[in-house]
Amino acid sequence: MKRTAPRAAVLLVLLAGLVVGGGSVAHEGATGVVAERMHGMKSMAEDMKALAEMLDGKRPFSADDAKARVASLHHTCHQAQDLFSNGKNDHASRALPAIWEHPDAFAAAMAGFDRAVEALMTATQTASLESLRAPFLDVGRQCSSCHEDFRRPQ
């Protein structure tokens, strides 16, 4: 049984959740669009964590919950691109200036994430846990890739 990849994904998502959300300390002082972005990223990390736990057998699989989590990812993905469009940043944000210095590269990264989430949405239509594995891992790769280029390390 393929359990190594989902466990690695869970670890990745848990670490991402700590790094993205980091509790109230990471969000301390964030206001306006920066706070909205941070909230969106934390929401996506929570959805990814829940999906990873289903894939790893640490949470019962629910096709309805999986569909709702992926729909939430899709919605937040589209919001995120708009929330980065104004160039605002503050001390609480880990967004790198590269987002605004290289808008085409950032847009391409967001488009790759969107395509991966779309594939995951399609996979949820089968209501099969196994059908979610590969698209879920691709979404995780897209997240990590964007974070490498456009997010300041903690």
User: Which residues are annotated as part of the binding site for heme c?
Assistant: 143, 146-147
Burial 68-104 (b: 16+ CB within 10 A, else e): ebbebbbebbebbeebbeeeebeeebbbbeebbeeee
Angle at 147 between CA 52 and CA 35, to 5 degrees: 90
Q: 10 Å Cβ neighbour count for 37?
A: 21
DSSP assignment string, 54-111: HHTTSS---HHHHHHHHHHHHHHHHHHHHHTTT----TT--B-THHHHSHHHHHHHHH
Q: How many CB atoms lie within 10 A of CB 23?
A: 10
